[in-house]
């Protein structure tokens, strides 16, 4: 049986921070990123692909705002905006991936599933929003928007001048809807795009009905949970750095090529990874190996085929 890997694409794999966000830019970024997955496919892996939606759902929220202010169009709630981004990005990934596969002469089916993810409506995350959405602003711009719209902002990397982004609640994913279908398709060799943007956040009410939640689920946590639920062998997070670092962007910055559970727990306890950016990725990777996964890897997309790059997280250090 082929190895099964879940690959989580960061939002920056689709939209770069210094870009306007045109469809041409996003399609080119997506195609460039997906080229790197050909390595895994040729190595015999079956794939499930998740993706971020931070920049995109933030833009949808701003369009919502502009539509209401300028044209009286009713705003859609955050869960619908997440679903919009999941469908649009999933379609783009599917189309670009089909073209990449065709270029390499690879015959595989690709399917995108709009995925709901169950959360606890009483999750404490609703009292402490941390999930970044939308573009980066200066401190002055963020202060104006916070006053006008009641949004909450946090600095990207503290005291580095990297900008401020809106934050929303990010509850813990509890269950992936349609996870059985995802596994069945993946085991049959279909490349499945699922849990995009962390999934559409929902909860189950007292009578068993599915209800929406105003939140954005961390896509790495959702993809980690999905990887465990479908019994994946490996879990990859593709981001914009080739390694995980401690003391990131500081004079004593240090890259980490290998991590085990003990060291990872200690670094997390010491606050060595940024809240809202690298810390959730580390926690997602650690959770995957704690729940039975063999290995997690965090790296930059273009370094995927070079095993000398990337931070590898396992329960114990491997020889």
What is the Cα–Cα distance from 299 to 281, expressed in whole angstroms? 11
User: What is the pLDDT at residue 61?
Assistant: 86
Q: Is residue 172 part of a domain?
A: no
Number of domains comprising the chain: 1
Q: Is residue 135 part of a domain?
A: no
Residue 261 among the catalytic residues: no
User: What is the pLDDT at residue 159?
Assistant: 57
The domain that holds 237 is classified in CATH as 3.40.1160.10
Q: Is residue 206 part of a domain?
A: yes
From the list 10, 11, 199, 274, the catalytic residue is 11
The dihedral formed by the CA atoms of 118, 123, 125 and 126, expressed in degrees to the nearest 10: 90
How many whole angstroms from its chain centre is CA 244? 16
72: Cβ–Cβ under 8 A, 6 or more apart, which residues?
A: none
**Angle at CA of residue 197, ends 269 and 226, nearest 5°:** 70
From the list 10, 12, 198, 276, the catalytic residue is 12
Residue 12 among the catalytic residues: yes
Structure tokens at 176: 């992936």
User: What is the pLDDT at residue 135?
Assistant: 74
Residue 11 among the catalytic residues: yes
Q: Is residue 137 part of a domain?
A: no
From the list 135, 196, 199, 219, the catalytic residue is 219
User: What is the pLDDT at residue 134?
Assistant: 73
User: What is the pLDDT at residue 98?
Assistant: 98
The domain in which residue 45 lies consists of: 4-119+177-307
Q: Is residue 159 part of a domain?
A: no
CB atoms inside a 10 Å sphere around CB 160: 12
Q: Is residue 253 part of a domain?
A: yes
User: What is the pLDDT at residue 161?
Assistant: 63
From the list 29, 53, 228, 281, the catalytic residue is 281
Q: Is residue 298 part of a domain?
A: yes
CB atoms inside a 10 Å sphere around CB 70: 8
Residue 59 among the catalytic residues: no
User: What is the pLDDT at residue 272?
Assistant: 92
Helices (H), the chain: 23-35, 38-42, 54-71, 78-103, 139-149, 179-187, 219-229, 261-269, 278-290
User: What is the pLDDT at residue 55?
Assistant: 81
Digit-by-digit pLDDT tens for the chain (319 residues) are: 689 999 999 866 787 777 888 999 999 999 999 999 999 999 999 999 999 988 888 889 889 888 988 999 998 989 999 999 999 999 999 999 999 999 999 999 999 999 999 999 999 999 998 887 777 889 999 999 899 888 889 888 765 567 898 888 999 999 999 999 999 999 999 999 999 999 999 999 999 999 999 899 999 999 999 999 999 999 999 988 899 999 888 888 999 999 999 999 999 999 999 776 799 899 999 999 999 999 999 999 889 888 889 999 999 987 6
User: What is the pLDDT at residue 160?
Assistant: 57
From the list 59, 64, 131, 312, the catalytic residue is 131
3-state secondary structure of 12: helix
This prediction's pTM? 0.90
Q: Is residue 27 part of a domain?
A: yes
Give yes or no for a contact between 227 and 6, defined as CB atoms under 8 angstroms apart: yes
């Amino acid at each position: 049986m082929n190895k099964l890997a879940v690959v989580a694409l960061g939002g920056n794999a689709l939209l770069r921070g210094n870009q306007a966000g045109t469809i041409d830019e996003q399609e080119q970024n997506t195609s460039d990123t997906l080229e790197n997955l050909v390595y895994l496919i040729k190595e015999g892996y079956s794939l499930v692909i998740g993706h971020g939606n931070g920049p995109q759902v933030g833009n949808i929220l701003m369009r919502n705002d502009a539509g209401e202010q300028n044209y009286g169009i009713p705003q859609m709630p955050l869960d619908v905006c997440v679903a919009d981004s999941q469908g649009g990005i999933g379609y783009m990934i599917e189309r670009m991936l089909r073209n990449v596969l065709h270029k390499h002469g690879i015959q595989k089916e690709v399917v995108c599933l709009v995925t709901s993810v169950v959360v606890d409506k009483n999750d404490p995350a609703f009292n402490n929003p941390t999930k970044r959405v939308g573009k980066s602003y200066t401190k002055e711009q963020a202060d104006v928007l916070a006053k006008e719209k009641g949004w909450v902002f946090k600095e990207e990397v503290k005291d580095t001048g990297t900008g401020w982004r809106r934050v929303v609640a990010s509850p813990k994913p509890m269950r992936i809807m349609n996870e059985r279908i995802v596994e069945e398709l993946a085991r049959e060799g279909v490349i499945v795009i699922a849990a995009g943007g962390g999934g559409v956040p929902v909860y189950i009410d007292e009578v068993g009905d599915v209800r929406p939640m105003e939140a954005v689920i961390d896509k790495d946590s959702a993809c980690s949970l999905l990887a465990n639920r479908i019994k994946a062998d490996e879990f990859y997070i593709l981001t914009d750095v080739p390694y995980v670092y401690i003391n990131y962007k500081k004079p004593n910055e240090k890259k980490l090529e290998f991590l085990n559970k003990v060291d990872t727990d200690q670094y997390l306890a010491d606050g060595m990874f940024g809240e809202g950016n690298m810390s959730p990725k580390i926690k997602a990777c650690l959770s995957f190996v704690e729940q039975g996964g063999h290995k997690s890897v965090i790296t930059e997309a273009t370094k995927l085929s070079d095993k000398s790059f990337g931070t590898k997280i396992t329960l114990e250090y491997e020889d």
